[in-house]
Amino acid sequence: MFETEQAINLIRESNRIFALSGAGISTEAGIPDFRGPGGLWEDSTLMEKLSATGFNRDPEGFYRANVKLFSEVRKAKPTLAHQLLVRLEELGKLDAVATQNIDGLHRAAGSRKIFELHGTYHTGHCPKCRAAFEMEDFYAEIQSGRLKVPLCRACAIPIKPDVVLFEDPIPVDAWEGAVDAASQCDLMLVFGSSLVVYPAAELPMIAISSGAPIVIVNLEETAYDSLARVVVRGKLGEFAKSALAAFD
């Protein structure tokens, strides 16, 4: 595919790459995205289920509603596209990855510099005393029906996963790191994002304003296609296979 070759050539010429990933990088790992076919957005109550208000109003309902997503996240393994970003970082070509995903797959793949803009499901905290928790065992217990909602032992209130829910602010450190990386990069890769969720969708504009070209790899059209140097309309797995072969 001509666009794949063009994208690989741009990667070859670049040494300060910044990547932004969205839910589409993890669909081939079995985690549904929001807006693609069969995506989570087909559930019209999702916004309420994944909002801070929804969690505060009914934490038990929040965990019950999300247990399917948790189980998909717990089973998932990194994809070829996650591995490609690790390879580019090992080669000294990629500075950082910012992700909108909460699945922890960039970390599992071995990426080192990661900005998790929407947090992670893997850890949680007590909203009152801020005690930190590993969430894996809680999810297993919720799935098996032994637990309804994990509670902080000291405060006896529901533990909240470290995900950015609708209405929650984005973690400041992750956002500032991503903005710096976008403004300093010589190429920005956007993998598997519809680019409609803000502020993450501002990052390609920051890169373009700083003079960097952008490459978008996505199954569907995005709002930034007309501003991208190269758009690869296809599966990330296929793109990553070609790119990994080029940077073996």
Shortest distance (Å) from residue 97 CB to ligand NAD: 13
User: Using the rule CB under 6 A, which residue among 6, 16, 40, 242 binds ligand NAD?
Assistant: 40
> Which residue in the set 197, 205, 208, 244 belongs to the binding site for ligand NAD (CB under 6 A)?
197
Give dist(CA 149, CA 246) in Å, integer: 47
Q: For the sheet with 94-99, list strands across it.
A: 114-116, 94-99, 17-21, 187-191, 214-218, 230-233
Q: How far apart are the first and last CA of the chain?
A: 19
Contact flag: residue 208 with ligand NAD (CB under 6 A): no
| Residue 57 amino acid letter | R
Of positions 10, 85, 88, 102, contacts ligand NAD by CB under 6 A: 102
DSSP state of 170: P
8 near 228, Cβ under 8 Å? no
- 244 binds ligand NAD per the rule CB under 6 A: no
DSSP per residue, 119-167: EEEEEEE-TTT--EEE-HHHHHHHHTTS-SS-B-TTT-SB-EEEE--BT
Cβ of residue 58: shortest distance to ligand NAD, in angstroms?
21
- Of 3, 6, 16, 39, the one binding ligand NAD (CB under 6 A) is 39
User: Does the annotation mark 118 as catalytic?
Assistant: yes
The verdict on 4 binding ligand NAD (CB under 6 A) reads no
Q: Which residues are near ligand NAD by CB under 6 A?
A: 22-24, 26-28, 31, 33-36, 39-40, 100-103, 118, 192-194, 197, 217-220, 235-236
Mind telling me the catalytic residues?
118
